[in-house]
Amino acid sequence: MEWLVYSVGKDARAATRRDWFHTVALAVRDRVVDRWMDTTRSYYHEDAKRVYYLSLEFLIGRLLTNSLSNLGIMDECRQALDRLGLSMEDVVDAEPDAALGNGGLGRLAACFLDSMASQGLPGYGYGIRYEFGLFEQRFENGWQVEYPEQWLQFGNPWEFARPEVLYPVQFYGRVEEFRDSVGERAYRWVDADRVLAMAYDTPVVGYGGETINTLRLWSARATRDFNFGHFNDGAYMKAVEQKILSENLSRVLYPNDATETGKELRLKQEYFFTSASLQDILRRYLQHHTSFDNLPNKAAIQLNDTHPAIGIAELMRLLVDQHALRWDNAWEITRATFAYTNHTLLPEALEAWPVRMIERVLPRHMQIIYEINAKFLNRTKAKAAGDNARLSRLSLIDERGERRVRMGNLAFLGSHHVNGVSALHTDLMKQTVFHDFHEEFPDRINNKTNGITPRRWLKQANPALSELITTRIGQGWISDLSQISALSEKAEDVVFREEFRRAKRKNKKRLAAYIARQTGEEVLVDSIFDVQVKRMHEYKRQLLNVLHTIALYNEMRDNPTVSWVPVTKIFAGKAAPSYHMAKLIIKLINDVAKVVNHDPSVHDNLKVVLLPNYNVTAAEIIIPAADLSEQISTAGMEASGTGNMKLALNGALTIGTLDGANVEIREHVGADNIFIFGMTADEVNDLRASGGFNPREVIASNPSLKRALDMISTGAFSPDDRNRYHPIVQALTDGGDHFLVTADFADYCRAQDAAMQLYRDQEEWTRKAILNTANMGWFSSDRTVNEYAEEIWDVHPVHPNHDGEGFR
Ligand code: NBY
């Protein structure tokens, strides 16, 4: 109440739900601050080695439930709100979803923050405080329309602005050569534009509240001198214009999840946050040290994909130009400090900045990249006698067409470890994009299979199942998910199965209500909730699922007397705004839904829903309610997947290809408890290499596929525009079906049938669902982060000294 009046400035009669959210958040924040300071102080006093996770994306979602749950004060808070006549759910729902990320890569960063804090690891997140997160998706006439996502509109109670933590970041200008004090050639970057990076800190509450780490996000501010210069000239409006332009740097998150845009502003964002973070890291290091030789023993910097890879050139610049280190010494330190995680093999997602752009925007960095490249190629040349093709593949510069800097090669060369995110993905990295580098540095690539935090994705999102689990095996699983294996034997217990089903049913009711609110569609709680939630992308093959939906619809109409297992197909996901094919697939799903859902001849046995604006908050409602988890990417194309892990942990059975982490999920849950179908990555590779794949033949030999495609192409779902889906049909036929949708269709339908048959036997289905939950312990991000800590970072837990004061 005190916070409502004094911090929010309202009295109880005038307070809105949002005011109450801010009130509660500020009260919670107060409980965090002392422990946060203690944590930071302990790291400082112990001069602990820290890990810095540099990521252009942190998909955190809401923080209120997370903070209350990790602090263990959920019940206390609920009771306090009760006494005020307020519902916890209403207050929680007033929080905007912090969507500073696109998909898996951004959410992984958020799970890692939770896991580092929960295990007492000195880990910092560094990123950008985007004013606009990932766009809000709405459907208008079934088409995706994007709206700005204004998460900061009403203020953000979790963040602390640090106006005194301010670093200059430069762009453009030119490089001057001069002789340093000992007569050596040296360089300085002059006549550059300057922007300031200002810090905003968000506490990251570990489970149990012992460790509170920091997520530091940078916001762009115009420099003062810049403004005053123009002001004195009387060019006031021009100064203001410049100020707005430079502050655009942190305005908006780029909404692509798998294609690099090549836009200059994006390159500037990458450099902006990387430079500010490195300056901050060096400042912290220099509080305790005078020489840089120990930097790799005190700081591990993890690059979340190549987005911060320019940091390798930046650290070289800081060490060589600003701190006067010798090149070789600086390179040794740089390499020993950085490590790089690769998240994709898709060629269109591999960053390659035009040399001319880097030359213009970051002239000194371009020189440094050339120097790194020349030294590396010279050394390699000596060994690779005359193999020029190999040398050009190893080069940091792609000379084919417009010259470009290959950021993946730079990240590889500047790191001591390079990792993939699932066993299969790591193998494919060695065979494909990094084949030559792997030969050159056979010990550098290693695997770190992704994980998810059980706090958010089981404890918070699924209270019904969490409480059931805790009644049987205690609460140790929350901080040590391997303990969840103790549930295995409960799969044979008929009473437990009944309770497990009851929890699932409760979640399905909650989702059904959400679906009704969002789409107006009523779905059967006893139908199979068949869920595909992820970004819309051709390689993820939502189209395969749609084709099966249409085939099933036809079968149901053809055989109305059969007693069908009712199915609800649930889709959700955003398409990148410029990805026309993905947006057309969204429209197709909405069109199919319109036809199927209003056809009385299927007797409600089939419903199709596409939920708008998929984000972390929606995922927390959808995932606990799923029966079947769709993980159906073309084998070899999904690096890992993490939604697959969230769904299986919540007791959904997976229908999937042997792609990404599905391979390891099968090993853990057992081949009997997962529906695997389709080609393997090797088969895909061979088929594509043979050039002999003809989708027309496959379609001609499969009547149900042919009929579904014919319906799409003749306008059965688009009577208002019969040609609407021509591009889709084209891609699947004459286009050569690059993602092999038609090739996997028959086996996918076989697996779907097997799932539907199994669902008739509720006891057997529940047994398998329990075995999924019980065997997913290894996929905790605690395990993943520990592997990074031990095998890459060499960082260790620190136990903060709280002086026995406890919570205040
Ligand atoms: O990273 C995803 C992978 O697709 C998924 O398989 C994996 O589980 C996950 C975590 O390792 N990648 C991903 O989400 N990528 C992006 O979001 C992304 C964002 C921006 C750009 C490229 C990819 N970009 O070039 O701008």
pLDDT range class, residue 6, cuts 50, 70, 90: confident
- How far is residue 407's CA from residue 635's CA, in Å, rounded to a whole number? 25
Which two three-digit tokens encode residue 677? 């179908």
Percentage of the chain beyond pLDDT 70 is: 98
Rounded Cα gap, residues 739 and 635, in angstroms: 9
Cα 24 from Cα 458, distance rounded (Å): 23
Order of strands across the sheet that contains 606-611: 606-611, 567-572, 528-533, 628-631, 653-656, 675-676
100 lines ligand 1 (CB under 6 A): no
pTM of the model: 0.97
Phi (first) and psi of residue 172, to 5 degrees: 65, -150
Amino acid at 542: Q
> Ligand 1 center to residue 136 CA distance, Å?
19
Query: Residue of the nearest CA to atom 8 in ligand 1?
Result: 641
Contact predicate 422/639, CB 8 Å: yes
Would residue 305 be called left, alpha or beta, if left means φ above 0 and alpha means ψ between -120 and 50 degrees? left
Q: What is the pLDDT averaged over residues 765-785?
A: 99
Give pLDDT tens digits for 17-60.
999 999 999 999 999 999 999 999 999 999 999 999 999 999 99
Strands 653-656 and 675-676: parallel
Tell me if 270 CB under 6 Å of ligand 1.
no
Nearest CA owner, ligand 1 atom 24: 260
Q: Are 751 and 676 in contact (CB under 8 A)?
A: yes
Q: Identify the CA nearest to 313 among candidates 373, 380, 265.
A: 373
Q: With 70 as the cut, is the pLDDT of residue 228 above it?
A: no
ipTM over 0.85: yes
In whole angstroms, give the CA distance from residue 182 to residue 198.
36
Q: Which helix (H) or strand (E) covers residue 340, if one does?
A: strand 338-341
Give the residue whose CA is nearest to atom 20 of ligand 1: 257
CA angle 157, 161, 166 (to 5 degrees): 160
Residue 806 — pLDDT band, cuts 50, 70, 90? very low
408 lines ligand 1 (CB under 6 A): no
How many A from CA of 230 to the centre of ligand 1?
42
SS3 call for 602: helix
| Closest ligand 1 atom to Cα of 266 | 26
pLDDT at 386: 79
343 Cβ below 6 A of ligand 1: yes
- Measured by CA distance, the residue closest to atom 18 of ligand 1 is 257
Nearest of 419, 308, 407 to residue 355 by alpha carbon: 407
pLDDT of res. 2: 72
- 3-state DSSP assignment of residue 528: strand
Contact 657, 632 (CB under 8 A): yes
Q: Is residue 808 predicted with pLDDT exceeding 50?
A: no
Mean pLDDT of 199-218: 98
Q: What is d(CA 58, CA 103) in angstroms, rounded to the nearest whole number?
A: 9
Distance between CA atoms of residues 758 and 760, nearest Å = 5
| CA atoms of 54 and 49, how far apart (whole Å) | 16
CA-derived radius of gyration, the chain: 27
- pLDDT tens profile 402-457: 999 999 999 999 999 999 999 999 999 999 999 999 999 999 999 999 999 999 99
Residue 229 has what pLDDT? 58
Domains of the chain, residue spans = 47-62+97-347, 454-777
Collect all residues with Cβ–Cβ distance below 8 Å to 14 and sequence separation of at least 6: none
pLDDT at 4 > cutoff 90: no
Is a pLDDT exceeding 60 seen at residue 369? yes
Average pLDDT over residues 309-338: 98
Q: How close is the Cα of 258 to the center of ligand 1, in Å?
A: 6
* Four-point Cα dihedral 422, 426, 428, 429, nearest 10: 130
User: Cβ(23)–Cβ(7) under 8 Å?
Assistant: yes
The mean pLDDT value of the chain amounts to 96
Which of 222-231, 691-700, 719-728, 735-744 comes out lowest in average pLDDT? Answer: 222-231
Write the pLDDT tens digit of every residue in 157-174.
999 999 999 999 999 999
Ligand 1 geometric centre to CA of 801 (Å): 38
User: In CATH, what number does 47-62+97-347 get?
Assistant: 3.40.50.2000
- The pLDDT value recorded for residue 150 is 96
What interhelical angle do 741-760 and 542-558 show, nearest 10? 60
**Ligand 1 and 574: CB distance under 6 A:** no
Q: What pLDDT, on the 0 to 100 scale, is given for residue 531? A: 99
105 lines ligand 1 (CB under 6 A): yes
Is residue 450 lining ligand 1, measured as CB closer than 6 Å?
yes
Amino acid at 456: R
Residue 725: burial class (beta carbons within 10 Å; 0-12, 13-18, 19+): buried
Tell me, what's the pLDDT at 804? 54
Which numeric CATH code is attached to 454-777?
Answer: 3.40.50.2000
User: How far, in Å, is the centroid of ligand 1 from the Cα of 105?
Assistant: 4
Q: State the amino acid at position 336 in one-letter form.
A: A
Q: Which one-letter amino acid corresponds to residue 340? A: Y
What separation in Å is there between the alpha carbon of 123 and the centre of ligand 1?
A: 21
Confidence of residue 226 (pLDDT cuts 50, 70, 90): low
Q: Is 349 in the pocket of ligand 1 (CB under 6 A)?
A: yes
Would you list the DSSP string of 415-436? -SEEEESSHHHHHHHHHTTTHH
- Give the separation between CA 748 and CA 750, rounded to whole angstroms: 5
219 lines ligand 1 (CB under 6 A): no
Q: Please state at what angle helix 17-46 crosses helix 74-83, rounded to 10 degrees.
A: 150
pLDDT for position 491: 98
What's the pLDDT tens digit per position in 147-156? 999 999 999 9
CA distance 114 to 305: 19
User: How many beta carbons lie within 10 A of that of residue 757, not counting itself?
Assistant: 12
> CA torsion 439→442→445→449, rounded to 10°?
110
Is 240's pLDDT higher than 90? Answer: no
Binding site membership of 255 for ligand 1 (Cβ less than 6 Å): no
Three-state DSSP class for residue 260: coil
Ligand 1 within 6 A of CB of 421? yes
Nearest-atom number in ligand 1 for the CA of 351 is 25
Q: Which of 53, 100, 257 to mutate to test the pocket of ligand 1 (most atoms within 8 A of CB)?
A: 257
Can you point out the beta strands (E) in 459-583? Answer: 528-533, 567-572
Cα dihedral: 335, 336, 340, 345 (round 10): 60
Is the Cβ atom of 425 under 6 angstroms away from ligand 1? Answer: no
Ligand 1 atom nearest the C-alpha of 102 is 17
Angstrom CA distances, 569 to 36, 191, 686, stand at: 44, 58, 32
User: What DSSP line would sit under 220-242, residue for residue?
Assistant: EEE-HHHHHHHHHTT-HHHHHHH
DSSP state of 633: P
Q: Give me 310's structure tokens.
A: 């320019």
In angstroms, the first-to-last Cα distance of the chain is 17
Q: Angle CA(518)–CA(520)–CA(524) in degrees, nearest 5?
A: 100
pLDDT at 384: 75
Are 409 and 382 a contacting pair, CB within 8 Å?
Answer: no
Distance from Cα 535 to the centre of ligand 1, integer Å: 10
What percent of the chain stands above pLDDT 90?
92
454-777 matches 47-62+97-347 in CATH topology: yes
Which residue in this structure is represented by tokens 């602990």? 48
> Which of 56, 57, 58, 102 maximizes ligand 1 atoms within 8 Å of its Cβ, making it the mutation to test the pocket?
102
Q: Within 10 Å of residue 233's Cβ, how many Cβ atoms?
A: 10
- pLDDT greater at residue 807 or residue 635: 635
pLDDT band at 677 (very low <50, low <70, confident <90, very high): very high
Distance 368 CA to ligand 1 centre (A): 28
- As a three-state string, the secondary structure of 72-139 is CCHHHHHHHHHHCCCCHHHHHHCCCCEEECCCHHHHHHHHHHHHHHHCCCCEEEEEECCCECCCEEEE
**pLDDT of 12 strictly over 90:** no
